[in-house]
Amino acid sequence: MSNKTLRDLRQPSTTDSGDDKPPKIEFPCDYPIKVVGDAAEDFTAMVCQVVTRHDPAFDASTLQSVPSRNGRFVSLRLTLRATGEDQLQALFAELKATDRVHMVL
């Protein structure tokens, strides 16, 4: 690879459009999230209760649960109806406040 093809990723590219704004989400929309926490019998029910408070139409039957290789953690994949950025921020904050959720992606 020649030096001409290398560039410092910390510096904006000269070929960039100059628009540094992240892409906007158009609300309302179906919004997929992944919630990772310690594997426990009531973890899925707890997450569903929190999500339902923020999206009363949430269908828990669409949730997918994927245990970690050693069974210590569980990843819940779900889709909710997002109505705005405030709703998503409040949902993420409430999930993290449970102290049972390690990550929300």
Is 14 domain-assigned? no
- Given a cut of 90, whether residue 37 has pLDDT beyond it is yes
| Counted domains in the chain | 1
More confident residue, 24 or 13: 24
According to the model, what pLDDT value does residue 84 have?
95
- Given a cut of 70, whether residue 44 has pLDDT beyond it is yes
Cβ-proximal residues to 99 (8 Å cutoff; 6+ apart), any chain: none
11 confidence band (pLDDT: 50, 70, 90): low
Q: What is the CATH number of the domain that holds 33?
A: 3.30.70.260
According to the model, what pLDDT value does residue 21 have?
72
SS3 content of the chain, % helix, strand, coil (to 5): 30, 25, 45
- Given a cut of 60, whether residue 104 has pLDDT beyond it is yes
Is 95 domain-assigned? yes
pTM (2 decimals)?
Answer: 0.77
